[in-house]
A and B are shown apart, each in its own frame.
Chain A
Amino acid sequence: MSTDILAATLAKPGKYLSFVLGREEYGLEILKVQEIIGIMDVTRVPRTPSYVRGVINLRGRVIPVVDLRSKFQMPTIEDTEKTCVIVVQVTQGDLTVTMGVIVDEVSEVLSFTQEQIEAAPSFGGGMDEAEYITGMGKLGKKVVILLDADRVLKGEELEAVAQAAQ
């Protein structure tokens, strides 16, 4: 993914929900987040990519959940009591789709001004995940990796899901 595209989608200033994945903190635009729920039993769906943990019952609605660790090719760990599902609404084409993302821990809501957001550094080839990053939020010494929920949960990836399923 070239830097041009990253620059074009540089994170907007505003509020972000930060969460922990491994040792790093990541941020999702708060407007995309519908709610946060504790981890619950997930029904596996066969023949889906490994990062799709399965589906859950969100008050009568069945929504898919994606394991972010596995999505970012990080080692998976056992769920803990801090493990959460962030329910986000992402746009897929013309549709708004509700999905859950499983993260290690939800931390807080942070505000970033334009100055506090920096373009993501180039990681060179071999790291596809870099395309999900819209910028780096800086608060004091803390660096929060800001993610584009639409891209993480959509794009070619989920189309691939559909294709793989066929």
Chain B
Amino acid sequence: MTITDVQTQVEDIAQALVLLDPTDTAGVVELGEQLASLTEILREGGRETEAVAAENAAALAAGCAGGDEVPAAVIAALSQAVEAVQICLEQPDPPTEEGAEIAESDTVTERPEGLTLSQLVDEDIVAEFLSRQTDALGDVEKLILAFESDDAGESMQELKRWFHTLKGESGLLGLTDMSEVCHATEDMIQAEPPAICVDRLLGVLDWLLSCFEYLEEKGPQPASAEELAVVLRTPLEADPDTVAEADAEVVIELAEEEAPEADVESGEIVEPEPEAAPVELPQVILPDYAGKNLLEGDVSLLQDFIGESHEHLEASEAHLLEIESDSQAIEPLNAVFRGFHTIKGLAGFAELDHIQELAHKAENLLDMARKGELDLSGGSMDLVFESVDMMKRLVEGVVEALASNGHPDEVDALPSLVARLIAATEGAPVAAAPAPALDAEPSPEAAPAKSGFVPLSNMKKPAAGSSGFVPLSNMKKAAPTAPTPPAATAKPAGKSAAAVKVKEAVRVDAERLDRLIETIGEMVIAESMVSQNQELRDGMSVKLAKDLDHLDKISRELQEIGMSLRMVPVRPVFQKMARLVRDLAKKTGRKVEFAMAGEDTELDKNVVDKIGDPLVHMVRNAVDHGLEPTNEERVTAGKPEAGKVTLRAFHKGGNICIEIEDDGRGLPRDKILAKAIERGLVREGDNLSDRDINNLIFEPGFSTAKEVTDISGRGVGMDVVRRNIEELRGTCEITSTPGQGSRFSIKLPLTLAIIEGMVISCGSEHYIVPTLSVVRLVRPSMNDISMVFDRGEMLAFEDEHLPLFRLGRLFGVEASKHDVEDAVVVVVEEEGRKMGLLADDLLGQQSIVIKSLGESMQDTEGVAGGAIMSDGNVALILDVAGLVRVAHASSSIVEPVDEVADEADDAAVSEMETGLPADVDPADEPTD
């Protein structure tokens, strides 16, 4: 029998267990038989640990025979054991002791001492564990330090995950002391404002290190874990009564099969004594967060939920910001309340109990604010913001779960947030609200949320807590890993209710939309092919011409509609920036006024999605670098105390412009120049325009910041900005006035699918140059063109000299016009560098639907894609940046001279030949 077969069998048992009726004792006995046979199979397969677990479970089940009802605790214990077997089977390497451990906690009496390794544990496993964890300590330390400077959730989550894992692993190895300390640490991380506990975390780390050393027999026995744990626990305001009560409940339920445990170490620490027994549970069922499989539910319902909740969350955030600026505003508060309420409802339909729970708690808080019982400001406001963030994360988790295995990740910060929400509502009359939430049938991943309404101190083992005392009726909902639909389709009523909801918009699969737009594009091409057909034109009647015109009009309209389908307002992105500015201002202690304009401007969905990142960097820069570092400095400079950052979007000449403006110090021209010289980007004495200097900040790794803060200063940001904007085929310009502020203007195409292009011909081929990169078209005279060393041609353009490349030569196409004076030069600009492209003729300008050349040709240098022309042929779209590289590759045959020197020579030569001043600007020359 293969592992998969065994797994299937175990899964069957797990499933049966979930669906088990508590009155069906016969069913349990039957299960016991199945487990017994499983035990044998496992034994034969040499999987002793799993076999032991299964055997114990079988004995447990057999013990139920004859009774009227199966105690819920027995079922819980059984499912844990089965789950453990499942987990063990899934992780063949290293052969974990989990199964045996589980069984032990259920039936076996003996417990290992605090820092004595469990007898069951293989030496190799210990060695592996020690070396891995000792190595990890360094990283963890870094994390803790990062945590000190950055209380953003990321490092905290990582830290928490690490301690959680270590807790589980050490528990597994029988190192109860270590596991207890990790546990306490975990509690501390999630329950406390982070800044306070950094020292303690480091203390824990040191202790762990000494433990590892001790275990490796390299060091003395570490200090007692008890003291440490007590210290760790002190800030937690434990409510001993409730703890005792809740734990007692578990203990009573489990009492039948739990022999009194001699859990020496952990039991004594801070918990009231009944704690002892269940302490082991969290350690063994650690991978529990696998949760229920969302894919088994109604996926479309979940998708609706995701879409809608996103909208509500975005809107809520905007309203919250409004409230913050005007705390008397009632309408936005109501709107936020409604948003949370709706999410709560939707989450309920979608059976996302953890989200429902959070929404519910936040709603309670908002309700109080609405009724005037609570002033929504400061801490409580932050709490609401945090809830919005958490909600986003949870929704994100659902999205990810749907995309992967269907199991949402456990979000560690959730319980503490819920707890704090409750704490915030507590004391007020509404605080009674948590009660109904008990009906919210916690699924395993919702378990942490559930433990939110027991006092903090009891939250130490959220997962175990819930699986310990979840009533049996709820077990059906929970369906830990049951792969069957019955568990998931349990709520048909909920589904229909959601479907009935009237929507103003139709949600369409983006892929389908793309296909529609593509087909419209094809149709437009086909239409123009027909109407330009020569045969048709020769014998064209007035009627036909009219009809064709009509068709032309319709297809154009259709194309416009098609394009507009993809258009979405930039509002959501802008709103994120509003939030960012708020957070940054808080963090840096500055006063920042944030204004937005034109947030209804519509952009292609792809563009909106991709513009977020660069905007974040630019807004950060505006706040952190642009504005004066302190409010006082602003006042001294005669400006209002609050710095002003403005974000606006508007249409301009077929493009979209997004501007970020601040009224800060402006770009420090001298500093940038000095830095650039230091880094060898420019030379001293180079004649650089303000624009050139400003553009230097886009160089990778360029930063004038003396100090790298957690907000900015590493010099990565602006490089990212430039790259992202280029990807969107946009441009970015900086204008800056010292002392008065700076403005970043991003110019973007309306859509990514269509570009405006100039069609040029070269020999028999047609090429398209994106209009965005065309500076001017010139008909050159011989006087404008000068040769350099017989290999490079230069074009005098305005007061610059540009390198001139013959398109035909670059592409190996025979040009039809050999006389330069007959040809046209397209002056193109890329990254602020201009160059001339010599082509035969300009054929016109038109909108072009970009087509990929296919995977195999995607990377062809100098070609950005293809377009289907009105004659049905394909024309290539030129990629100007790539062309520059091609041109350089082909012209560098002669001699790879130092670039700047080369250019100086060029300039000298051109001066000699043309008598024109050699004012060639190195920055205007293409460089590799």
Contact = CB atoms under 8 A, between A and B. Distances in A.
A43 B886 contact: no
Interface in A6-62: 40-41, 43-48, 52, 54-57, 59-62
Contacts of B853: 45, 55, 62, 64
Given A46-B811, A46-B860, A60-B522, A41 B855 contact: no
B813 A44 contact: yes
Interface stretch (B29-37, B230-238, B872-880): B872-880
B874 A62 contact: yes
B198 interface: no
Interface in B518-544: 518-519, 521-522, 525
Nearest to A52: B857
Contacts of A40: 872
Interface in B840-898: 851-863, 865-866, 868, 872-876, 886
A165 B854 contact: no
A47 B878 CA distance: 13
A162 interface: yes
B143 interface: no
A54 B876 CA distance: 10
A37 B62 CA distance: 73
Nearest to A163: B859
Interface string B825-849: 0000000000000000000000000
Given A41-B873, A55-B874, A162-B856, A46 B810 contact: yes
B110 interface: no
B874 A165 contact: no
A108 to B, nearest CB: 29
The bracket for how many chain A residues form the interface is: 20 to 34
A43 B765 contact: yes
19 contacts: A44-B765, A46-B876, A48-B857, A54-B874, A55-B853, A55-B866, A57-B872, A60-B851, A60-B868, A61-B851, A62-B851, A62-B852, A62-B874, A63-B854, A64-B856, A64-B857, A158-B856, A162-B858, A165-B859
Nearest to B856: A158
A46 B876 CA distance: 10
Enumerate the 5 nearest inter-chain pairs by beta-carbon distance, A residue then B residue, closest first: A60-B522, A46-B811, A43-B874, A62-B866, A62-B851
Interface of A: 40-41, 43-48, 52, 54-57, 59-64, 92, 95, 97-99, 154, 158, 161-162, 165-166
Given A43-B876, A92-B855, A60 B860 contact: no
Contacts of B857: 45, 48, 52, 55, 64, 161-162, 165
Contact of A43 (B518, B519, B855, B873): B873
Contacts of A154: 856
B868 A48 contact: no
Secondary structure at chain B's binding surface: helix, strand, loop or mixed? mixed
B680 interface: no
Interface string B794-821: 0000000000000000111100000000
Contacts of A62: 851-854, 865-866, 868, 874
Interface centre among B525, B874, B876, B886 (most CB of A within 10 A): B874
A166 B859 contact: yes
Interface string B638-652: 000000000000000
Contacts of B865: 62
Contact of B856 (A43, A57, A60, A99): A99
A97 B874 contact: no
Contact of A99 (B518, B812, B854): B854
Nearest to B811: A46
A60 B525 contact: yes
Interface of B: 518-519, 521-522, 525, 765, 810-813, 851-863, 865-866, 868, 872-876, 886
Given A41-B873, A55-B866, A162-B859, A46 B812 contact: yes
Contacts, number: 90
Contacts of B858: 162
Contacts of B866: 43, 55, 62
B521 A60 contact: yes
B765 A165 contact: no
Contacts of A98: 854
A45 B856 CA distance: 12
Contacts of A57: 868, 872-874
B876 A45 contact: yes
Interface centre among A63, A98, A166 (most CB of B within 10 A): A63
Contacts of A61: 851
A45 B588 CA distance: 54
Nearest to B521: A60
A40 B868 CA distance: 14
A38 to B, nearest CB: 13
B856 A92 contact: yes
Contacts of B874: 43, 54-57, 62
Contacts of B852: 62
Contacts of B813: 44, 46
B518 A60 contact: yes
Nearest to A165: B860
A161 B857 CA distance: 7
Given A46-B863, A47-B862, A60-B851, 18 more contacts: A43-B874, A44-B765, A44-B813, A45-B860, A45-B876, A46-B812, A46-B862, A47-B886, A48-B857, A48-B860, A55-B854, A55-B857, A55-B876, A60-B521, A61-B851, A62-B854, A92-B855, A97-B855
B854 A45 contact: no
Contacts of B811: 44, 46-47
Interface centre among A59, A60, A64, A166 (most CB of B within 10 A): A60
B893 to A, nearest CB: 15
Contacts of A92: 855-856
Contacts of B518: 60
B517 to A, nearest CB: 12
A64 to B, nearest CB: 5
Contacts of A64: 853-854, 856-857
A99 B853 CA distance: 10
A165 B861 contact: yes
Given A92-B856, A95-B855, A45 B873 contact: no
Contacts of B860: 45-48, 165
Contacts of A56: 874
Contacts of A97: 854-856
A45 B862 CA distance: 10
Nearest to B849: A60
B558 to A, nearest CB: 15
Nearest to A154: B856
A52 B866 CA distance: 15
Nearest to B885: A166
B861 A47 contact: yes
Nearest to A161: B856
A74 B338 CA distance: 74
Contacts of B519: 60
B687 to A, nearest CB: 35
Contacts of A60: 518-519, 521-522, 525, 851, 868
Interface centre among A57, A99, A154, A158 (most CB of B within 10 A): A57
A56 B873 CA distance: 7
Contacts of A45: 853, 857, 860, 863, 876
A47 B525 CA distance: 28
A32 B456 CA distance: 64
A61 B854 CA distance: 9
Nearest to B890: A47
Nearest to A90: B856
Contacts of B876: 43, 45-46, 55
Contacts of B810: 46
B782 to A, nearest CB: 27
B749 to A, nearest CB: 20
Nearest to A95: B855
A64 B859 CA distance: 13
A43 B868 CA distance: 10
Contacts of A165: 857, 859-861
Contacts of A52: 857
